[in-house]
Amino acid sequence: MFNKDSEKNKGSKKRFEEIFTENGVANGNRIIVDRETGIHYLFSWSGYAGGITPLLGKDGKPVIKPNNE
């Protein structure tokens, strides 16, 4: 039942790439890039709580990495 998706994705590139990690004792931050859209996300956690949001530039627009980089 659940193996169909995992078999389909075997050998394929991962969609998300972690490009930055900052860890504390019980908290941290990661910047993750969606390889399909190029959008950067900030994932932040502390203890058992966490959240993810698009990373925004000075102009308030999402940070996007072009596919050719």
Q: How far is CA 67 from CA 19, 35, 43, 57, 64, in A?
A: 15, 7, 21, 18, 9
User: What tens digit of pLDDT does each residue of 6-44 get?
Assistant: 555 566 689 999 999 999 999 999 999 999 999 999 999
Contact 30, 9 (CB under 8 A): no
Q: How far is CA 54 from CA 7, 19, 61, in A?
A: 29, 14, 9
pTM here is 0.75
User: What tens digit of pLDDT does each residue of 49-61 get?
Assistant: 999 999 999 999 9
